[in-house]
């Protein structure tokens, strides 16, 4: 809302961030309020009216630079305050009435907060004592009748110290939150590197295993496919049968590898490396159990220390001022005991914030009614800061709102309507309450970030194992779809060559040529992934993408003895590589299953695309034997479904009325495809 107001009235505010808009609004509010108060306090005096015309712009200008120059903001205002008091004491000694200093007090509050939040240690050491020195100088020039010690103590703790401490705490929480966010990013990077390393190790180990088990066998098949031509007539049939035997053995070996990859949790012969969060995650090693209880006790101890200190400070102020008060209605020991009763609930505000706030204001109301009025006492006015801040910081939203209502009611009863309104006690309470809520929110964000980092550190090993398991499943699926398809065709063609070698040598040699060609293609596809040690066919580097030519795949199936017709309806879409590969693998698995489980069948492949999606339909007839498509392809069907659903599509398959089988895969296309 603040940014919208700034944009509405200031065209340049469209490029401002949230902090700049807030600074402008705060400067405007203080400028207007300071100007109005100065004019009221001038009482028609020419000098005071002239000074009043400068008060508002000075405050506004200083507040605009409070983030970048907090020490300058405090120093200039304090110098102007001293100069104004000196001139007023010398030039206008008979000015009617005492000036109202509410807006300057709030300015000191904001300037002290800015020193704590944005200043360095040097700025704090040089800036925080300035208001105390100025109070002593002004009291010397224009005595107020109040004890100087009480006024200095009030400024030191209630205005300057509390505001600077609040700013420092909020700034510290923000810095800690940024540090935790940085640690979170480093943990994410570290886990990503660990996962990348584990996957690379996994792929290298599998590359060695598959190269030994499958790639060498494919090369041997490719070589042996030309061997029968060089053998004598008596050994040619034996050589052809040996090719078929090797092809079926390799097919069985492939299935074993696929099953072992899908079933195992870690790499063969290697375990997933454990996650070591490292130095950045050291604070989060202990999560839950005794360490968490220790952290909770430490936080409680720190809270007790701060609230006890607040109680001691407020109690000491009250004791000092009540001892000097001339209008005490009871014996002094009783009055001093009453001061302690008022301050004591603050010590336990960390444990029961709302109840202790109610107890404090009840005691303050009774003290003001029967011992001495609290209105006008600096120490009593400090009660407008501490209880609202504590109840806002330690309570949740609803109970904090109830605590603010208790503070407002207690302040009204304790100070009376005149003191409550004249001294802007309600504004002080609201400002302290807001500061407490801001610090509460920052602290909650810090704890939430800590918890998230603990959870992230604990889940690192789980994520690592899950990534390795997913990689194994992907490799198993690629092996099943790609190498299984090639070996199925090789086994069928080798079997056909064995049966036809004596009756139709020409067709037998054509079948062996198909064996050599398919074996070469399968070996190249397998090595394409294994050669880099990083991926199998589904994850090849650029420039080495696996073949996705549907026409070549259909030709292979035809060469294996499966009559296949191919139809492309509509414009052939330029598919993204990942969708093209997924559709290719689905078609590959479907044709392989027709060859394997529906011998004698014919197949029809249809590809449809309209720019928004692409549909692949593979339908086969019943064939000469009973089809075992549905019963025999459970792993392949699951792999097809996973491939399609990875891209947001859906897969359907089932028997046709004529006894055949049909597979339908639907892929949505990205916009602009």
Model pLDDT, residue 442: 76
Model pLDDT, residue 531: 38
Q: Where in the chain is the domain with CATH 3.30.565.10?
A: 561-673
**Distances, alpha carbon 381 to alpha carbons 105, 164, 373, 378, in Å:** 13, 18, 11, 5
Q: What share of the chain is helix, strand, coil (3-state, %, to 5)?
A: 75, 5, 20
pLDDT digits (tens, 9 = 90+) for 74-99: 999 999 888 877 777 766 554 444 55
> Angle at the Cα of 150 (from 149 to 155), degrees rounded to 5?
100
pLDDT digits (tens, 9 = 90+) for 585-626: 888 888 888 887 787 889 999 998 877 889 999 999 887 554
Model pLDDT, residue 585: 84
Specify burial of residue 462 (Cβ count, 10 A radius: 0-12, 13-18, 19+). Answer: exposed
Spell out a b/e string for 281-297, using b for 16 or more CB atoms within 10 Å of the CB, else e: bebbeebeeeeeeeeee
- Beta strands 613-620 and 603-609 are antiparallel
- State phi, psi for 659 to the nearest 5 degrees: 95, -5
- Beta strands 650-655 and 613-620 are unpaired
Answer whether 106's CB lies under 8 Å from 159's CB: no
How far is the C-alpha of 556 from the C-alpha of 522, rounded, in Å? 12
**CB-based contacts of 97: which residues, under 8 Å, 6+ apart?**
41, 43
**CB-based contacts of 540: which residues, under 8 Å, 6+ apart?**
528, 529, 532, 546
The number of beta carbons lying within 10 Å of the beta carbon of residue 572 is 11
Model pLDDT, residue 540: 39
Specify burial of residue 139 (Cβ count, 10 A radius: 0-12, 13-18, 19+). Answer: middle
Q: Which of 444, 537, 423 is nearest to 486 (CA)?
A: 537
Q: Which parts of the chain sit beneath pLDDT 70?
A: 1-17, 41-52, 90-101, 144-151, 153-154, 157-158, 200, 202-204, 206-213, 226-234, 261-301, 376-381, 419, 421-424, 479-482, 524-548, 570-573, 624-635, 672-673
Specify burial of residue 255 (Cβ count, 10 A radius: 0-12, 13-18, 19+). Answer: middle
Model pLDDT, residue 250: 80
Model pLDDT, residue 527: 62
**Distances, alpha carbon 79 to alpha carbons 42, 94, 305, 572, in Å:** 20, 23, 36, 80
- Token representation of residue 544: 């080495």
Model pLDDT, residue 99: 55
Q: Which of 447, 471, 455 is nearest to 277 (CA)?
A: 455
**Distances, alpha carbon 325 to alpha carbons 312, 319, 570, in Å:** 20, 10, 98
DSSP alpha helices (H): ranges in 373-424? 378-381, 386-394, 397-422
How far is the C-alpha of 392 from the C-alpha of 382, rounded, in Å? 16
How far is the C-alpha of 21 from the C-alpha of 13, rounded, in Å? 7
**Distances, alpha carbon 379 to alpha carbons 124, 318, 395, 411, 421, in Å:** 24, 6, 25, 13, 17
Answer whether 498's CB lies under 8 Å from 241's CB: yes
How far is the C-alpha of 75 from the C-alpha of 179, rounded, in Å? 32
How far is the C-alpha of 100 from the C-alpha of 36, rounded, in Å? 11
The topology under which CATH files domain 561-673 is Heat Shock Protein 90 (3.30.565)
């Amino acid at each position: 809302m603040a940014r919208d107001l700034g944009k509405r009235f200031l065209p340049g505010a469209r490029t401002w961030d949230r902090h700049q808009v807030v600074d402008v609004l705060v400067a405007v509010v203080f400028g207007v309020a300071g100007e109005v108060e100065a004019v009221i306090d001038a009482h028609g005096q020419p000098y005071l009216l002239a000074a009043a015309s400068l008060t508002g712009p000075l405050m506004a200008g200083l507040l605009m630079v409070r983030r970048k120059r907090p020490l300058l903001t405090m120093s200039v205002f304090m110098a102007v305050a001293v100069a104004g008091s000196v001139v007023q004491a010398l030039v206008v000694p008979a000015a009617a009435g005492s000036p109202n200093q509410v807006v300057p007090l709030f300015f000191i509050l904001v300037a002290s907060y800015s020193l704590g939040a944005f200043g360095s240690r040097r700025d704090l050491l040089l800036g925080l004592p300035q208001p105390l020195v100025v109070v002593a100088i002004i009291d010397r020039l224009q005595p107020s009748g109040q004890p100087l010690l009480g006024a200095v103590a009030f400024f030191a703790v209630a205005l300057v110290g509390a505001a600077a401490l609040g700013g420092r705490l909020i700034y510290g929480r923000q810095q800690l939150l940024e540090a935790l966010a940085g640690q979170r990013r480093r943990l994410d990077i570290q886990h990503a590197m660990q996962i990348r390393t584990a996957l690379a190790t996994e792929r290298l180990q599998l590359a060695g295993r598959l190269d030994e088990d499958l790639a060498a066998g494919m090369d041997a098949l490719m070589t042996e496919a030309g061997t029968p031509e060089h053998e004598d007539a008596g050994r040619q049939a034996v050589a052809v049968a040996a090719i078929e035997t090797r092809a079926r053995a390799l097919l069985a070996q492939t299935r074993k590898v696929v099953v072992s990859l899908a079933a195992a949790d870690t790499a063969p012969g290697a375990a997933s490396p454990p996650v070591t969060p490292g130095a950045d995650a050291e604070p989060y090693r202990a999560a839950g159990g005794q360490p968490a209880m220790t952290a909770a006790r430490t936080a409680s101890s720190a809270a007790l220390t701060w609230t006890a200190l607040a109680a001691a400070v407020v109690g000491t102020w009250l004791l000092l001022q009540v001892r000097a008060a001339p209008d005490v209605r009871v014996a002094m020991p009783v009055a001093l005991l009453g001061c302690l009763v008022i301050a004591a609930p603050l010590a336990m505000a960390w444990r029961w914030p709302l109840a202790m706030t109610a107890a404090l204001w009840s005691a303050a109301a009774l003290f003001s009614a029967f011992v001495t009025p609290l209105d006008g006492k600096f120490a009593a006015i400090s009660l407008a800061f501490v209880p609202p801040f504590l109840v806002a910081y330690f309570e949740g939203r609803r109970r904090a709102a109830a605590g603010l209502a208790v503070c407002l009611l207690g302040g009204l009863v304790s100070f009376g309507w005149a003191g409550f309104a004249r001294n802007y006690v309600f504004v002080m309470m609201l400002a302290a309450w807001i500061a407490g809520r801001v610090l509460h929110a920052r602290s909650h964000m810090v704890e939430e970030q800590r918890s998230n980092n603990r959870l992230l550190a604990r889940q690192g090993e789980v994520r690592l194992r899950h990534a390795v398991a997913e990689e194994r499943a992907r490799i198993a699926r690629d092996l099943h779809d790609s190498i299984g398809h090639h070996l199925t065709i090789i086994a069928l063609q080798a079997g056909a060559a064995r049966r036809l070698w004596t009756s139709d040598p020409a067709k037998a040699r054509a079948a062996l040529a198909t064996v050599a060609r398919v074996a070469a293609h399968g070996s190249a596809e397998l090595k394409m992934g294994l050669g880099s040690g990083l991926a199998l066919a589904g994850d090849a580097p650029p420039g080495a993408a696996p073949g996705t030519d549907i026409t070549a795949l259909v030709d292979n199936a035809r060469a294996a003895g499966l009559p296949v017709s191919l139809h492309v309806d509509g414009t052939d879409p330029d598919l993204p590589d990942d969708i093209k590969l997924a559709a290719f693998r689905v078609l590959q698995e479907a044709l392989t299953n027709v060859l394997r489980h529906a011998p004698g069948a014919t197949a029809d492949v249809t590809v449809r695309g309209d720019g928004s999606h692409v549909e692949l339909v593979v339908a086969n007839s019943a064939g000469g034997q009973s089809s075992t498509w549905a019963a025999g392809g459970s792993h392949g069907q699951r792999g097809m479904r996973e491939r399609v659903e990875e891209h947001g599509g859906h897969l359907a398959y089932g028997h046709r009325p004529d006894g055949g089988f049909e597979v339908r895969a639907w892929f949505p296309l990205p916009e602009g495809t």
